[in-house]
Chain A
Amino acid sequence: MISVSNLVYTYPKSAAPAVDNISFEVPQGEIFGFLGPSGAGKSTTQKILIRLLSGYRGDIRLMGKLLQEWDKSFYNHIGVGFELPNHFGKLTALENLRFFGAFYDRALREPMELLSQVGLEQDAHKRVSEFSKGMKMRLNFVRAIMHNPELLFFDEPTSGLDPVNARRIKDLIIEQRTAGKTIFLTTHVMHDADELCNRIAFIVNGKIALIDSPKMLKLQHGRRQVRVEYLNGAVREEEFPLDGIGNNAGFLRILQEEDVQTIHTEEATLDDIFIKVTGTSLH
């Protein structure tokens, strides 16, 4: 669905490239996470992919066609959820959807139904200028999917959302994948990436440092250990090798004799891996 080969982009008046010779492929039906700290090149890559930036080097194919061969109809096939809300403040949520919807040459999903999916049905007739950032972000999301595009780009889709609404949006993103849509997700929230993405790429200083599935990365970079916390006067903690854990006498004794509080395997978090691989923090 997305094929990027040797992509290089340098902003005018800048000596160093913002995106430096990156390559990746995203098959249909995958959520691909693009992770990196601010200024790493995430948004630049997304802007190139959605044709907001030109003058790049390298080959980009989207939906089987070279990016430069697409005309304006390209935007009928993609949906973009921008990092910052961008709506007409003087129009209501519903009017905004009708306004933007008027530009598409394909059937639109029922706006009220979509607003209800993101918990905005009661606010459909409220002016967007009265919305909180979280409400605007949810409206951003609805606008991105209202024309039922095959390829979706989301930039920090849960930014500014409370946990309930962040959950809603994440569920809807998963629903889009289930419906066969391909999703390019730009974020620096590792937890979201871990939960949503089939594969992730770490980008630092314009270069991709690593691409794999979150599961594989966590296994590859984690310690094969089990940590047990139990109460014995005070909270105590012990670690055991994961290999042969079923026959580990110490581990079995704790399970049988102690008041066990928690048991965790010691796979790495994406944050840990990011720091390990890139030598820099995400935040």
Chain B
Amino acid sequence: MQKLLRLARLDLRMILREQMLWFMLFVAPGLQFSMALLLLPWLEQRFPIMTDYHSLIVMLMTLQVDTSIGFVLASMLLDERDEEVLTALRAMPVGVNTFLIYRLGIGTIMAVLFAYAMLSTPGLEGLGLASRFTAALLFASTAPITTLALATFSSNKVEGLAVYKGLSLILILPACSFFMGSWVQYTLGFVPVYWSLHFVAKVLVGEPGGLELFMALLTHGLVLWILFRLFKRRVFS
């Protein structure tokens, strides 16, 4: 535990030493949270039509927060790949798998906390404690997905930024399903976020959402597993 804390402290230092990273990890989520807490209710008062889409807007903001955490960790991994640090870690007792799991784990924990905070803002009281936590966990899974996707499909931070933009678009695409016909919307089910959004939507209208939760867990797990393997193959072979 002491070792983990030491690693986390040094990780934090690395983040604080790069403006873009600390902005995306602390300032951007803080701004999103403030917007969800203050700006959104104010806008809804002025434009009542927005009230119908309150939960969807908050969920998309949550996704934005969690992917930005993923972006920060991906940037660190890209730096570490450039600096050949991952090769050095392979010759350490910890093993690179454990290191990656630690890195992704730290990001996921932060993403869960941010997501939980976002889903606790007014207007989503219907979620309840357990569903809110489950939803936070599902949304937070986009953080490691973003990290692994960026670190796998880009060679440097500039490319990473481009991949991030593309990935963000893909991840918010399932929001369109709320404006689609009943069967057409399922075509977006290949994006794991689709099932997270619909899980929350179901719970908010008082339905169990068991199928959505199962599919969300399955698709997130599958995508994470594939990306983890691709990342390792790309970096270590």
Contact of B7 among A74, A75, A102, A105 (CB under 8 A): A102
A88 near B6: Cβ-Cβ < 8 Å: no
Residue A229 CB within 8 A of the other chain: no
A90 touches B14 (CB 8 A): yes
Kindly supply a per-residue 1/0 record for chain A positions 71-96, scoring 1 wherever the CB is within 8 Å of any chain B CB and 0 otherwise. 01111101010101111111100010
A51-69 interface bits toward B, Cβ cutoff 8 Å, 1 = contact, 0 = none = 1100000000000000000
Is the CB of B87 closer than 8 A to any CB of chain A? Answer: yes
**A98 beta carbon closer than 8 Å to chain B:** yes
Closest to B86 in A: A86
Which residue from chain B places its CB closest to the CB of A147 in the assembled complex? B93
Min Cβ gap A138→B in Å is 15
Known: A90-B14, A91-B14, A105-B93. A82 touches B6 (CB 8 A): no
Output the nearest chain A residue to B15 by Cβ-Cβ distance. Answer: A90
Whether A104 contacts B85 by the Cβ 8 Å rule is no
Q: Is A99 an interface residue (CB 8 A)?
A: yes
Q: A82-B87, A90-B17, A90-B18 are in contact. Are A103 and B93 (CB under 8 A)?
A: yes
Per-residue CB contact flags for chain B residues 1-33 toward chain A (1 = under 8 Å, else 0) read 001001100100110011000000000000000
In the assembled complex, how far is the CB of residue B232 from the closest CB belonging to chain A, in whole angstroms? 13
Which B79-95 residues sit within 8 Å CB-CB of chain A? 79-80, 83-85, 87-95
Chain B interface size band reads 20 to 34
| B122 CB to nearest chain A CB (Å) | 39
Most buried by A among B3, B88, B94: B88
CA separation between A143 and B87, bound complex, in Å? 14
Cross-chain contact of A104 among B7, B88, B90, B93 (Cβ < 8 A): B93
Contact of B13 among A72, A91, A104 (CB under 8 A): A91
Is A50 interfacial (CB 8 A cutoff)? yes
* Nearest-neighbor residue (CB-CB) of A105 within chain B: B93
Contacts A51-B91, A75-B91, A87-B85 known; 9 new A-B pairs at CB < 8 A: A52-B87, A75-B93, A86-B84, A86-B87, A88-B10, A88-B79, A103-B89, A104-B92, A105-B93
Residues in B lying within 8 Å of A, measured CB to CB: 3, 6-7, 10, 13-14, 17-18, 79-80, 83-85, 87-95, 237
Q: Which 5 A-B pairs have the closest CB atoms?
A: A86-B84, A103-B94, A86-B88, A103-B92, A75-B93
